[in-house]
Copies of this chain bind each other. A is one copy, B any other.
Amino acid sequence: MQVLTVNLDDRSYPIYIGEQLLSQPGLIRQHIRGRQVCVVTNETVAPLYLDQLCAALDGYQVDSVTLPDGESHKTLDVWASIFDKLLSARHNRTTTLIALGGGVVGDMTGFAAACYQRGVDFIQIPTTLLSMVDSSVGGKTGVNHPLGKNMIGAFYQPLCVLADTSLLTTLPARELSAGIAEIVKYGLISDYEFFVWLENNMDQLLAGDMAALGYAVKRSCENKADVVAQDEREGGLRAILNLGHTFGHAIETAQGYGNWLHGEAVAAGMVMAADLSWRRGAISSEELARVIQLLQRAHLPVKAPADMTPEQFMELMGVDKKVLDGRLRLVLLESMGKAIVTSDIDPGMLQDTFEACKAN
């Protein structure tokens, strides 16, 4: 097991990374301050791991809430159902909420912990690769509104995160790949050495090699923690974590949430960002090809949907193409392993990127 500390002054917390962590009850129990625990999970994860977690919590008052699975259920109404359970089971201010699931469960549980009686303890047990390397670090919690993703939420840090790579053995291959997209992102934005490591170890990751997965999770969390420690509330630097996300969100919105996984849209979006970076002369054509090849090897899409026009992209990115100047900020590569945020974007180059990155 490895332990990584996310440094946020009095809100610092450890991420435990390794195999079979759920079989070590002491890891979690040392962080529980009261006598009550409420596990929040979803329909997919509950049959797989809820019993094992409850067994590890023997002796506490343990209640659980099983939410419907999927981004479409990340709503205020579903979130409110967590409070129904907490109050009907008389949980007090010393209770601990444990999120057992992917990003949706983590975001909703963290936001519920932030608001229940104005703030109770919170522990995260991510069950997807994406949530291990993304929502484990950063403290962003919240729910969607019909008019926008993650529009309602809070910054709220967990007491600890248990990234148990053994849980990934039940993860569908497509979701493993989606998690790898975010891992590749860290290599691109801040860690070229890690990018090279990923080129050399992609086969092991896809095969579910525990040592490789553990290393990739740790190095990803380290990279994100470095950025977040410098900019907890997204004043500036933290924006580089959104490499590929502006294009990716446009794809997700156009296709309807759930048709493309978030990681898949980010993969295609990162190719678009890399393509535009190449057109600006920041990276070479060989480097662009390496980005594309690495994502392809992870079975991720590297083209935007064939039916998406440049006009649609611009509209979904919230920009009127006729008044581009200064209105669109994008995360691009300055070099392999270094990202920048810029609003100095050439409309012609952007147009060329849309054309070049569209599927046939």
Contact B154 A114, beta carbon cutoff 8 Å: yes
Asked whether any CB of chain B lies closer than 8 Å to the CB of A116, the reply is yes
A70 → B minimal CB distance (Å): 21
Chain A 244-287, CB within 8 Å of chain B: the 1/0 string? 00000000000000000000000000000000000000000000
Task: Write the chain B residue with the least CB distance to A318.
Answer: B90
Contact B140 A118, beta carbon cutoff 8 Å: yes
Chain A 106-150, CB within 8 Å of chain B: the 1/0 string? 000000001111110000000000000000000010100101100
Q: How many copies does the complex hold?
A: 2
Given contacts A76-B76, A88-B147, A147-B88, contact A153 B83 (CB under 8 A): no
Per the 8 Å Cβ criterion, residues 64-120 of A in contact with B are: 76, 80, 83-84, 87-88, 114-119
Which B residues are CB-close (under 8 A) to A88? 147
A317 → B minimal CB distance (Å): 15
**Cα separation A142 to B117 with both chains bound (whole Å):** 9
Task: Write the chain B residue with the least CB distance to A148.
Answer: B87
Contact B83 A152, beta carbon cutoff 8 Å: yes
Asked whether any CB of chain B lies closer than 8 Å to the CB of A151, the reply is yes
Contact B142 A118, beta carbon cutoff 8 Å: yes
Contact of A153 among B80, B115, B233 (CB under 8 A): B115
Which B residues are CB-close (under 8 A) to A76? 76, 80
Task: Write the chain B residue with the least CB distance to A141.
Answer: B118
Contact B155 A115, beta carbon cutoff 8 Å: no
Name the residue in A76, A140, A142, A233 with the highest tally of chain B Cβ atoms < 10 Å from its Cβ.
A76
Which B residues are CB-close (under 8 A) to A83? 145, 151-152
Given contacts A80-B76, A83-B145, A87-B145, contact A151 B119 (CB under 8 A): no
A226 → B minimal CB distance (Å): 21
A206 → B minimal CB distance (Å): 35
Task: Write the chain B residue with the least CB distance to A93.
Answer: B234
**Cα separation A80 to B77 with both chains bound (whole Å):** 10
A190 → B minimal CB distance (Å): 23
A327 → B minimal CB distance (Å): 13
Contact A154 B118, beta carbon cutoff 8 Å: yes
**Cα separation A140 to B118 with both chains bound (whole Å):** 8
Which B residues are CB-close (under 8 A) to A80? 76
10 chain-A/chain-B pairs, Cβ below 8 angstroms: A76-B76, A76-B80, A83-B152, A84-B147, A87-B147, A115-B142, A116-B151, A116-B152, A118-B154, A119-B154
